[in-house]
Amino acid sequence: SQQGEEDPQALSIQEGENATMNCSYKTSINNLQWYRQNSGRGLVHLILIRSNEREKHSGRLRVTLDTSKKSSSLLITASRAADTASYFCATAPTGANSKLTFGKGITLSVRP
Amino acid sequence: DTGVSQNPRHKITKRGQNVTFRCDPISEHNRLYWYRQTLGQGPEFLTYFQNEAQLEKSRLLSDRFSAERPKGSFSTLEIQRTEQGDSAMYLCASSPGRAGGVLTDTQYFGPGTRLTVL
């Protein structure tokens, strides 16, 4: 079963605009991760935020985590056509096993 | 390239045949995961190895599926008597576990093996 639910399911923006994607989850987590997947290819890890963190930055990426609302957001600033891809949030549970539970993903299209 | 590699990249087979996929993780990564992804969905966890020990299997992994990691390095995933519902992308990921004394959960994914069962 899939724990994360991303919102919106699809997003289309103009190059240079910011893209905000949201993720909600259901159970307690150790950390939450965002991945990118280009069409038909493997997943690329973008950023990891631990349950005791509230915000994290990496280049043009900013991720927030609100454990009280069981939600996270990913902001991509100054988007580029190359950011066009599917984006997934994935949660790792508390406990020893760090298997990831993914949402269905968000399709981002950045128009040049 | 020192990333995760998977072979073959594509496999087309007839229903009822057996198939085997291979995953070579990043060197020194002691954790290895298998996931399955169908069109329009996120990856779903199948199984997890720490070194050569298979520590967890999803209920998605029916008894037609078996995975091994005999020497704690590469892993194989075998599907016996394939069914059309097995058609999917099979993804392998590895994780270092501990890196520099810090426990890390970041998983590094391979390009996947796309299975089509006719």
Give me chain B's average pLDDT, please: 91
Order of strands across the sheet that contains B65-68: B5-7, B19-24, B75-79, B65-68
| Predicted pLDDT of residue A40 | 73
B6, closest residue in chain A (CA to CA): A42
| Predicted pLDDT of residue A89 | 95
Residue in B42, B106, B108 closest to A103 by CB: B42
| Predicted pLDDT of residue A39 | 82
Asked if A88 contacts B42 with a C-beta cutoff of 8 angstroms, the reply is: yes
A103, closest residue in chain B (CA to CA): B42
Contacts of B55 in chain A (CB under 8 A): 97
Contacts of B44 in chain A (CB under 8 A): 2, 102
Asked if B85 contacts B99 with a C-beta cutoff of 8 angstroms, the reply is: no
How many angstroms away from the CA of A51 is the closest CA of chain B?
13
pLDDT band of residue B1 (cuts 50, 70, 90) is low
What Rg do the C-alpha atoms of chain B give, in angstroms?
Answer: 14
Asked if B52 contacts B71 with a C-beta cutoff of 8 angstroms, the reply is: yes
% of chain B beyond a pLDDT of 70: 94
Mean pLDDT value across residues B14-42: 95
| Predicted pLDDT of residue B28 | 85
| Predicted pLDDT of residue B99 | 59
Interface test with A, best of B41, B47, B48, B104 (most A CBs within 10 A): B41
Q: Do B41 and A104 touch (CB under 8 A)?
A: yes
Q: How far is A97 from B103, CA to CA, in rounded Å?
A: 12
Q: Do B105 and A42 touch (CB under 8 A)?
A: no
pLDDT band of residue B101 (cuts 50, 70, 90) is low
Mean pLDDT value across residues B24-44: 93
What is the tens place of the pLDDT at every residue in B109-118? Answer: 999 999 999 9
Give average pLDDT by consecutive 10-residue segment, chain A, 112 residues: 74 96 92 91 91 95 96 97 95 79 94 92
Q: How far is B76 from B83, CA to CA, in rounded Å?
A: 19
Question: What's the length of chain B?
Answer: 118
B41, closest residue in chain A (CA to CA): A104
Mean pLDDT value across residues B7-32: 96
A49 CB within 8 Å of a chain B CB? no
Q: Do A88 and B110 touch (CB under 8 A)?
A: no
Q: Do B111 and A104 touch (CB under 8 A)?
A: no
Q: How far is B67 from B63, CA to CA, in rounded Å?
A: 11
Q: How far is B67 from B33, CA to CA, in rounded Å?
A: 10
% of chain B beyond a pLDDT of 90: 76
The DSSP output letter for B81 is S
Q: How far is A74 from B102, CA to CA, in rounded Å?
A: 25
pLDDT band of residue B103 (cuts 50, 70, 90) is low
A35 CB within 8 Å of a chain B CB? yes
| Predicted pLDDT of residue A3 | 62
Mean pLDDT value across residues B1-11: 90
Mean pLDDT value across residues B77-91: 96
